[in-house]
Structure 1
Amino acid sequence: MGAETNGNLEFLSKIPEIKFTKLFINGEFVDSVSGKTFETIDPRTGEVIAGVAEGDKEDVDLAVKAARHAFDHGPWPRLPGTARRKILLKFADLIDEHAEELAALESIDAGKLFGWGKAVEIPGTAENVRYYAGAADKIHGETLKMSSAHQGYTLREPIGVVGHIIPWNFPSTMFLLKVSPALAAGCTMVVKPAEQTPLNALYFAHLAKLAGIPDGVLNVITGYGTTAGAAISSHMDIDKISFTGSTEVGRLILQAAATSNLKAVTLELGGKSPLIIFDDADVDQAAELALLGNLFNKGEICVAASRVFVQEGIYDQLVKKLAEKAKTWTVGDPFDPKVDKEQYDKVLSYIEHGKREGATLLTGGKPCGAKGYFIEPTVFTDVKDNMMIAKDEIFGPVMSLMKFKTVEEAIQRANATRYGLAAGVLTKDINVANTVSRSIRAGTIWINTYFAFDKDAPFGGYKMSGFGRDLGAQGLEQYLQVKSVVTPIYNSPWL
């Protein structure tokens, strides 16, 4: 008992003081115009962490005004790329210096693993800043050899004021995945973090100011999607929206952008990604990757491999292996995983749908723990393609196993979804791997691996998983636009 008590005290010592709960507008932390606040909840306990300023349309107007002034008249878009690079590199260093506090905030606000956050995720966000810092002084146009009696060149210029609306499942990663390339391009911005996870976004705003990012360039409005998010989406002085979240909300954002000023939009939306396991795959590796693909980050990831297609020759063997390995995944306090109460109830309702529709519950399927929002890792077998658990994005630790016979059948069934974000293929046959990867309509295909994200690899979806790309060179391009400059050549012999 003594060792357990000491361990708990050690975990408690990592819980940080909540320093920033106000809106960040024009370089200052300020109350909302209305003075209203909302509660952010610790998913480990269901208890209130802090009251956070509730931004609304009036606050968005103030933030956009600051961002517009910073873009139209401020130094940031006009700085040499080398100067923006230097500031961004300092920003990255400050993130590394505060990695433990940021990871702890993410654990209490988003239920994420503290050790993983401190060692991997927060340092990874700093590296993302450095990646785009390195691009800030390499934004070049082209010289045009024109067929008429003219000469020309192109300029690649920042698109303007950007509205970033980010999700709750990876609050730090998504914040800097969006903000870093936009800053490198010379844009200014208003960021709305998810109402469930506002704390790290405010902390990053504080670090950005310490790094030297000018006032008005980066503004953070905490609040609800239906108010603050809607105001950003429809604002006439915002030039671009970048959104990651559900397909349903993405459709609303696209409609708002179209009916306001036809602003550019990038959408990274939902997924129902297939993992196709062929008979020649290593069963142990397949079981590990299938569980990783479904349970990593508690299944709260848009590319979760929630539809697992298994060729009939190894189906029974894989089912047995999954039943064994699923029990080794631990559910517990992230300091010793984030769903809020609404998401927790949603996942449990999908599990009940699976049972009613005739799928076989292999393991899990129940809530666990006396407090907080914890659900057992859940695996269904005998799943049919028309069941809700096979069609809808659940965003929780629920895997659906389905049997197939041929390559052609696997491709057809994998593509029979409204989504197209990612897919995995497990096989030793390079011809099968190439055939399937070229045939699946999804933005990312992983062969004999899963979750192999990289800063150099563009990420985004097909179909109702959205359009546009984050990461890689294309992640920077979405915040730039091309201008052609043309002049005549006088006294030319062909005039």
Structure 2
Amino acid sequence: MQELSYQDWKSRAAQLSFRGQAFIDGKFVDARSGRTFDSINPATGEVLTAVAECASADIDLAVAAGRRAFEDGRWSRMAPGDRKTVLLKLAELIRTNLEEMALLDSLDMGKLVTDAATIDAPGSAHFFQWYAEAIDKLYDEVAPTGPGDLALVRRVPVGVVGAVVPWNFPLDMATWKAAAALAAGNSVVLKPAEQSPLSALRLAELATEAGIPDGVFNVVPGFGETAGKALGLHMDVDCLAFTGSTATGKMFMQYSGQSNLKQVWPETGGKSPNIVFADCEDLDAAADMAAFGIFFNQGEVCSANSRLYVERSIKDAFVEKLIARARAMQPGDPLDPASKMGAIVDERQTQAIMRFVEAGQATAKLVTGGERVRIDGKGCFVQPTIFDDVRQDDPLAKDEIFGPVLSVLPFDSEAEAVSMANDSIYGLAASVWTDNLSRACRVSENLHVGTVSVNTVDALSAQTPFGGMKQSGFGRDLSLHSLDKYTALKTTWIKYKT
């Protein structure tokens, strides 16, 4: 992609048109109720478009469309190579429309358009391509049996998959669920977050252009307490994949028990620790990545490295490095390539972050940031904020803030660092900085999290599973392992004459 200027991005944003209707059975349609809600640009407060406010009646229509498509086999029984061709085309269409997809997420939820254009949108295309290429390379099994018996173990699509995704990475999170579910042959009903539905609706349009049959991929924008709940309780949804808060993940598991015992795969909250030992030789690199790990995407990352544990002997010097980096990462217009941080997703989230900051000033040492700012008198922006000398039991160190707020805590020994890092209800991710290989392996083994990144932060790829432990949930996205939740094992046992 060519490098665009601030004026280029603003010009392209001004020319955008937005799809606000739901996408059900291959068509854009209004909500049955006729109700809409506003999609608001958090950087300016301006209304982008009215979006269909789907509820249970719309969920019924989308699930029914998905079921018809699944049962008649237009996608579920399509030859693997043909499904592969369609998803590869979708990946290319995302790349062709990369600037538009990046702008939709930037305008809708405030992320830097340069990040959306170089990370999110290309990542979405990559994940669709990766799962497409896996489709015709997955083999079934023949179980060991005696003479006269042939036992075939096949992975079959589960049916209709409901996917409920968050607002922090709207396109990527939709892709993480949909790419794997579609690759396995399922129909999908996707509910994007009400704060950021626009890229998912455009993705549905591109999916149809790529050749995904009508009814196979449906997008139903709406609110969690109506559309999300209806999807969770639906008797004809076979699997519900969810990324979002722990509290909401627990509700979806309750909905399963109250309905048809559908599979629920939650990937929920996080409060990821980042442990820096004094034997880390490149403290500048560690400081760079520590800042990235909490301030990237305005800290609105479930696996954000929001708890920083630094060995006491280097703590003060390391904090000074972080302060310098934070001061160089001030928020600005998300469309300006010179901006280092974008806007917080909406007013509600901004106020929630500021409540943590205000309370933290009475319990810890604020060393930089801590202010809400406006750009040209508008918007939801929060400075990169660092608290030092935070107590382990402080809400700053315990609760998921989901904003650009870092808590620094000192430690004196490896055992203490591991104990403090594990002292959390969450277990999504962790980072460890050390040049001692034995320590890296030992600490990684003892951290109760889904991913440990050594001498980096938040490492992920299409080849490796992403998900957590404890109250971070047990769902896994990415890698071939994610197909486990979108397929069922089916045994066919054949007796034959020998």
Shorter-chain TM-score category?
Answer: over 0.9
1:339 has 2:345 as partner = yes
Distance 1:470 1:9 in 2: 37
Alignment TM-score, normalising by the size of structure 2: 0.95
* Mean CA deviation greater in 293-302 or 314-323: 314-323
Structure 1 match to 2:88: 89
Structure 1 match to 2:104: 105
Kindly state the Cα deviation for residue 9 of structure 1 after the two structures are TM-superposed: 4.3
Structure 2 match to 1:424: 431
Alignment TM-score, normalising by the size of structure 1: 0.96
Structure 1 match to 2:339: none
Structure 2 match to 1:327: 327
Kindly state the Cα deviation for residue 151 of structure 1 after the two structures are TM-superposed: 2.2
State the AA in 2 paired with 1:348.
M
Kindly state the Cα deviation for residue 189 of structure 1 after the two structures are TM-superposed: 1.1
- Describe the superposition over 1:305-362 as per-residue Cα deviations: whole angstroms up to 9, x where unpaired: 1010001110111112112221111310111114210000000001112112x20001
State the AA in 2 paired with 1:412.
S
- Describe the superposition over 1:93-122 as per-residue Cα deviations: whole angstroms up to 9, x where unpaired: 111110011111111101111122223321
Kindly state the Cα deviation for residue 7 of structure 1 after the two structures are TM-superposed: 6.8
Q: Give the match's secondary structure for 2:152.
A: strand
Kindly state the Cα deviation for residue 137 of structure 1 after the two structures are TM-superposed: 1.4
1:394 has 2:401 as partner = yes
CA contact (8 A) 2:353 2:402 kept: yes
Match of 2:459 among 437, 452, 455: 452
CA contact (8 A) 1:132 1:181 kept: yes
CA contact (8 A) 2:142 2:152 kept: yes
CA contact (8 A) 1:139 1:156 kept: no
Relative distance call for 1:182 and 1:8 in structure 2 (3 A) is closer
Relative distance call for 1:13 and 1:254 in structure 2 (3 A) is same
Match of 2:478 among 456, 468, 471: 471
CA contact (8 A) 1:163 1:241 kept: yes
CA contact (8 A) 1:22 1:53 kept: yes
Structure 1 match to 2:284: 284
Structure 2 match to 1:133: 132
- Describe the superposition over 1:236-263 as per-residue Cα deviations: whole angstroms up to 9, x where unpaired: 0000000000000000011001110000
Structure 2 match to 1:360: 365
- Describe the superposition over 1:271-313 as per-residue Cα deviations: whole angstroms up to 9, x where unpaired: 0000000011122122111111100110000011101000111
CA contact (8 A) 1:283 1:317 kept: no
Structure 1 residue ranges, 4+ long, deviating more than 4 angstroms after superposition: 6-9
Count of residues paired in the alignment: 485
CA contact (8 A) 2:429 2:458 kept: no
Kindly state the Cα deviation for residue 157 of structure 1 after the two structures are TM-superposed: 0.4
Structure 1 match to 2:354: 348
Structure 1 match to 2:74: 75
Q: Give the match's secondary structure for 1:372.
A: strand
Match of 1:443 among 438, 445, 450: 450
Correspondences of 1:227-266 after superposition (within 5 Å)? 227-266=226-265
Structure 1 match to 2:143: 144
Correspondences of 1:104-253 after superposition (within 5 Å)? 104-147=103-146, 150-253=149-252
- Describe the superposition over 1:219-252 as per-residue Cα deviations: whole angstroms up to 9, x where unpaired: 0000000000000001000000000000000000
Q: Give the match's secondary structure for 1:64.
A: helix
Distance 1:350 1:168 in 2: 20
- Which blocks of at least 5 consecutive residues in structure 2 are unaligned? 337-341
Distance 1:185 1:135 in 2: 10
CA contact (8 A) 2:430 2:458 kept: no
Kindly state the Cα deviation for residue 149 of structure 1 after the two structures are TM-superposed: 5.5
Structure 2 match to 1:42: 41
Q: Give the match's secondary structure for 2:426.
A: coil
Q: Give the match's secondary structure for 2:361.
A: helix
Q: Give the match's secondary structure for 1:449.
A: coil
Structure 2 match to 1:3: none
Relative distance call for 1:7 and 1:423 in structure 2 (3 A) is closer
Match of 1:415 among 399, 422, 428: 422
Relative distance call for 1:294 and 1:36 in structure 2 (3 A) is same
Match of 1:377 among 379, 384, 391: 384
State the AA in 2 paired with 1:292.
F
Distance 1:292 1:329 in 2: 10
CA contact (8 A) 2:157 2:185 kept: yes
CA contact (8 A) 1:165 1:194 kept: yes
1:316 has 2:323 as partner = no
Distance 1:11 1:469 in 2: 35
Q: Give the match's secondary structure for 2:490.
A: strand
- Describe the superposition over 1:352-386 as per-residue Cα deviations: whole angstroms up to 9, x where unpaired: 12112x20001000101121000000000010011
Distance 1:382 1:393 in 2: 18
Distance 1:266 1:459 in 2: 12
* Mean CA deviation greater in 47-56 or 279-288: 279-288
Relative distance call for 1:442 and 1:148 in structure 2 (3 A) is farther
State the AA in 2 paired with 1:17.
L
Distance 1:342 1:421 in 2: 25
- Provide the aligned C-alpha RMSD in A: 1.3
Distance 1:155 1:114 in 2: 43
Q: Give the match's secondary structure for 2:137.
A: coil
Relative distance call for 1:7 and 1:276 in structure 2 (3 A) is closer
Distance 1:481 1:347 in 2: 41
The percent identity for this pair of structures is 45
State the AA in 1 paired with 2:356.
Y
- Which blocks of at least 5 consecutive residues in structure 1 are unaligned? 1-5
